[in-house]
Amino acid sequence: MPAKKRSSAKPVKPAPIPAPEPLIRTDSPYVVDTIFPCRRLHIIGGPAHAGKTSLMFRIMADWNAGLNVFGFRSHRMPFCYVSCVDNLEACQDVVRRMCVSGIPVLSATDHGGVNSIETLYNFAVKAHPDVRVIFLDSILRVAEGNGLDNKMVGDVLDKWSRFMQDRNLTIIATGRCAKPKDNKASVRSIDRFLGATCWTEFASTFIGIEPRSPNRPRDDRRKVAIMPKGSASFELYYRFTSEGHFVEVSDDNMADSPDRIEQLVEIIDAHNPGDELTTAELIEYGHMLGIIARSTMMSYLQLLTRSGKLQDAGYGKYKIPAVQ
């Protein structure tokens, strides 16, 4: 049998498998979903001693812990707090009173102040080079001149907008509102913001904090109105605990004890992430704390679910969430 001729054709090499494209990490466009878009200005406004700084520290503490803020998911980023009104010792007093940790605190007043977005940014980035979010206490101290003139403020905020886009920077700042005349005042806090109207026009989200009873100074109840652009506004309620912590409470007066909420949080934190608790078990915990009515306890559970301390697992169960 004649030998088979060996083919002169060269074997075809398989096509090389292309290397996988490198994974590109895309940052969230939000500091907090819906509420705080990145690279924008957001303002917390309220009358004197309404709790603007306390609310800002509450936001920072929850956000930095990966908890929900106002019921929306947080996206942690490098940040710092800059005060333009208090020295460092006074800022640290707030940290101790609020019993929060992990918040980088700076005082511009201890270093001659800041008077522009450039000096504010340079002051913050010197201490925290990777800063992406600045929580600023008292925006009118960085007004670069007359904060009452619309043309001047508009020009300043035009520059701010470009600066924040270029630096990938978000600013969440407090500012002063005029005091409401009485409990039935119909003028919104955003319309009572002191200074040019441009401040609130340029703000992507305005958050107003007001005493619920302006004529009763001893009443610690606060109403917080959240007004994001392009989304429906809503209201939440807060109170100070006996130790001075600032805690979200229910609008229901039967379920608005901030101390009870903190006690429930301590019980929840004693469990491991992923653990499940039945509604009956949680109601029993409530009984131990003196929360007798089921409806009252369910109001507390609704608050804890919105804050992200609990997750509704369905079928009468709640889950301890993992840290985000």
Domain membership of residue 2 (yes or no) is no
Domain shared by 245 and 262, yes or no = no
Domain shared by 221 and 306, yes or no = no
Domain shared by 190 and 263, yes or no = no
Domain shared by 244 and 273, yes or no = no
Number of domains in the chain: 2
pLDDT attached to residue 196: 85
Domain boundary among 205, 232, 249: 249
Domain membership of residue 11 (yes or no) is no
Residue 149, domain CATH:
3.40.50.300
Domain membership of residue 197 (yes or no) is yes
pLDDT attached to residue 215: 80
4, pLDDT greater than 50: no
Mean pLDDT across the chain: 88
Domain membership of residue 268 (yes or no) is yes
The 10s digit of each residue's pLDDT in 91-150 is: 999 999 999 989 999 999 999 999 999 999 999 999 999 999 999 999 988 987 777 788
Domain shared by 191 and 65, yes or no = yes
Domain range spanning residue 304?
258-319
250, pLDDT greater than 60: yes
Which ranges constitute the DSSP H helices of the chain?
52-64, 88-98, 117-127, 150-167, 198-202, 258-269, 279-288, 294-307
Domain shared by 232 and 286, yes or no = no
Domain shared by 135 and 217, yes or no = yes
Domain membership of residue 22 (yes or no) is no
DSSP helix/strand/coil, 150: helix
C-alpha torsion angle, residues 62, 67, 69, 71 (rounded to 10): -150
Domain membership of residue 228 (yes or no) is yes
Domain shared by 198 and 305, yes or no = no
The 10s digit of each residue's pLDDT in 22-80 is: 333 347 899 999 999 999 999 999 999 999 999 999 999 999 999 999 999 999 999 99
Beta strands in the chain (DSSP E): 30-32, 36-37, 41-46, 79-83, 105-107, 133-137, 170-176, 205-211, 222-228, 234-240, 246-249, 276-278, 311-314, 317-319
Domain shared by 226 and 185, yes or no = yes
This prediction has a pTM of: 0.86
Residue 108 CB neighbours (<10 A): 25
Domain membership of residue 102 (yes or no) is yes
Residue 299, domain CATH:
1.10.10
Domain shared by 228 and 262, yes or no = no
